Each structure stands twice: as C-alpha cells, then as structure tokens.
Amino acid sequence: MFPTWLLPLAVCVFAALIVLYCLFLCTQLSALLREAAAAAEAEGERGGERGLTAEEVQRLEEGTMAVGGGGVCVVCRDEMEGAQAVRVLPGCRHAFHRSCADAWLQRQSSCPLCRARLLPPPLPLSTATPAPTPTPVSPSSRV
C-alpha cells in the first residue's frame, strides 16, 4: 500500500522544507539584527545633540526679570516683564522665559541666543572636585 520509492522522496522533501525554514529564520534574524543596529546607531547620533532631561532643566538657575535685565525672549520673541519667572543659563547668563527655556533645553542643550553649549548642571551632592567655571561667552564677539 506504501510504494517503496515514496519514502526517500518524502525524506528529501522534508529535509528541503527544513532547510528552507532555516533560511527563512536566518533572514528574519539578520533583518532584526540590522534594524536593532540601525536603531542603536541613530540613538548614538542623537545622543550628541540631545537636550537636557526635565530633571536637569529643573536644576538650572531660576530668577526673576531683574537677573536678566529685561529685553525680549528670543525663543518666543515676546517681552520679558518684571513679574515673569525666567531661567538664567549657566555660563553665558542669558535669560529667557522659564517655560520657553525649559522647552528649548529639552530639545537641545545650547543657548538659544548665543548657541553656547550647555552642560547639565552638576548634582547638588556631588563628591567630585568642583567643575571649572566655563569661560563667559560675550555676545558681542559674534558679529
């Protein structure tokens, strides 16, 4: 009832199916690995220009308009008035509306006005040696 020539044929077909299945798994796996590597690479590239975290922004200096000396917030192009809370950036001492500065700094870690690179402020309970004070950037040096 079972032709003798059918058995080797069935074995061959079965083996071929297994090989095909392995090849399929391999392509799937390598595609996944490539995707993961590309994602990691993009993550690393973004890391160079990333903004501060919300927590780091919260540690930045806050003040009222007296600190900034008045003027226009370059982020929203609106006047900064006396009662408004402002965020003073470390280093260049430029001031912006607090909400404007917070939103900006979470996108990129540079001053919206003079583009001075902003480093996250050190943790308050840092045991490390105090960081050297950054050299102040004069806006008049950029013409």
Question: Applying CB under 5 A, which residues contact Zn ion?
Answer: 73, 75-76, 92, 94, 97, 100, 111, 113-114, 116
Considering beta carbons, is residue 57 or 113 the nearer one to Zn ion?
113
Shortest CB 53 distance to Zn ion, Å: 20
Chain centroid offset of residue 32 CA: 23
Considering beta carbons, is residue 34 or 107 the nearer one to Zn ion?
107
Residue 139's CB is within 10 A of a number of other CB atoms, namely 12
Considering beta carbons, is residue 6 or 143 the nearer one to Zn ion?
143
- DSSP 8-state class, residue 74: T
Considering beta carbons, is residue 56 or 75 the nearer one to Zn ion?
75
Considering beta carbons, is residue 34 or 115 the nearer one to Zn ion?
115
Shortest CB 64 distance to Zn ion, Å: 14
Q: Which helix (H) or strand (E) is 7 found in, with range?
A: helix 6-48
Label the pairing between strands 85-88 and 95-97. Answer: antiparallel
Shortest CB 37 distance to Zn ion, Å: 37
The Cα angle at residue 48 between residues 43 and 51, in degrees rounded to 5:
90
Shortest CB 111 distance to Zn ion, Å: 3
Rounded CA separation 1/18 (Å): 27
Name 85's bridge partners: 64
Shortest CB 116 distance to Zn ion, Å: 5
| Closest to 56 in 3D by CA, of 80, 87, 84 | 87
